[in-house]
């Protein structure tokens, strides 16, 4: 199976959800004028940015605003939507949450960021998720994680062990750590022999300059597509049969020694 994917590498207005909804709509309109795609992915916290101090006021109650927009996008483009993440107000807490809609406009999965980044004070304003982000799209097993999660190979590995062939990463990754971003994504693809489709944002917010370079890496570790550091739609084609091919060439999964990994 082949999938055409598009990453909306957008700028995000700090603490301005309505303005950011309009930015998503503008990019989706632009995407709709080009060749059709099977999946589109947005960046992390595309609705609020890292305006953590105002989350009580601007976070999306039960994600209602995001659900409505992402469903609309899935139906308009007739494609899967890995909906970046949003600041989701739920049960008196705020979570950093991804909603994924399938091409029929049905909710396919929800994932709340498990590893909150203390460096950016996320832990002081948000609650951490507890569940994995696994779901099916076109009968293919895929996973989604959020930004800092890629520094935790053991978390990504669990998703690969449970069958994920594609890892979607939604991010707000800032300078000066562009090298970390690229190398961690390539490493996750090589060690798990899976596609990694990673959408970052550009622009400035809360004292950070975000580095773009949205990336698609194939299961052999080759970069298939890479954004620049400007607002753009980055497109790529995935050939999912390559996952099985690479997994049968180097038998990493069979050669594991999990009984030794508990000392
Ligand atoms: N939004 C994030 O999780 C940023 C992660 C990051 O900058 C890093 O891990 O470095």
pLDDT tens digits for range 202-211: 999 999 999 9
Nearest C-alpha neighbor of 44 from the set 231, 177, 202: 202
For residue 70, the model assigns a pLDDT of: 98
Pairing of strands 166-170, 195-199: parallel
For residue 138, the model assigns a pLDDT of: 97
If you average pLDDT over residues 185-213, what whole number do you get? Answer: 98
Question: Is the CB of residue 149 below 6 angstroms from any atom belonging to ligand 1?
Answer: no
Helices (H), the chain: 17-32, 55-58, 64-77, 122-125, 153-161, 178-192, 241-249, 252-255
Which residues are catalytic, by number?
Answer: 44, 113, 147
Nearest C-alpha neighbor of 169 from the set 159, 24, 256: 159
Question: Is the CB of residue 147 below 6 angstroms from any atom belonging to ligand 1?
Answer: yes
Looking at every residue in the chain, the average pLDDT score rounds to 98
Pocket test for ligand 1, best of 177, 199, 209 (most atoms within 8 A of CB): 177
For residue 163, the model assigns a pLDDT of: 97
pLDDT tens digits for range 116-161: 999 999 999 999 999 999 999 999 999 999 999 999 999 999 999 9
Residue 65 phi/psi, 5-degree rounding, is -60, -45
- Residue of the CA atom closest to atom 9 of ligand 1: 148
Question: Domain extents for the chain?
Answer: 2-252
Confidence of residue 194 (pLDDT cuts 50, 70, 90): very high
pLDDT tens digits for range 13-61: 999 999 999 999 999 999 999 999 999 999 999 999 999 999 999 999 9
Question: Is the CB of residue 117 below 6 angstroms from any atom belonging to ligand 1?
Answer: yes
CATH of domain 2-252: 3.60.110.10
Question: Is the CB of residue 150 below 6 angstroms from any atom belonging to ligand 1?
Answer: no
This complex has an ipTM of 0.99
């Amino acid at each position: 199976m082949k999938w055409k994917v598009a990453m909306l590498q957008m700028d995000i207005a700090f603490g301005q959800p309505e303005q950011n909804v309009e930015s998503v709509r503008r990019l989706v309109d632009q995407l709709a004028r080009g060749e059709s795609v099977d999946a589109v992915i947005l960046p992390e916290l595309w609705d609020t940015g890292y305006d953590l101090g105002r989350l009580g006021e601007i976070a999306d109650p039960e994600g209602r605003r995001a659900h409505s927009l992402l469903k609309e996008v899935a139906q308009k483009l007739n494609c899967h939507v890995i909906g970046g993440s949003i600041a989701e107000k739920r049960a008196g807490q705020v979570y950093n949450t991804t909603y994924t809609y399938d091409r029929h406009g049905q909710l396919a999965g929800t994932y709340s960021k498990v590893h909150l980044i203390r460096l950016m004070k996320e832990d002081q304003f948000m609650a951490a998720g507890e569940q994995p982000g696994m779901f099916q799209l076109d009968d293919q097993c895929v996973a989604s994680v959020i930004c800092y999660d890629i520094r935790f190979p053991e978390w990504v590995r669990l998703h690969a062990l449970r069958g994920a062939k594609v890892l979607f990463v939604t991010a707000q990754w800032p300078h000066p750590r562009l090298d970390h971003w690229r190398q961690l994504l390539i490493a996750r693809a090589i060690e798990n022999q899976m596609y990694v489709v990673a959408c970052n944002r550009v622009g400035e917010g809360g004292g950070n300059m975000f580095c773009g370079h949205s990336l698609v890496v194939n299961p052999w570790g080759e970069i298939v597509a890479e954004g620049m550091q400007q607002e753009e739609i980055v497109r790529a084609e995935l050939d999912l049969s390559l996952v099985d091919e690479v997994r049968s060439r180097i038998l990493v999964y069979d050669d594991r020694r999990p009984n030794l990994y508990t000392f």
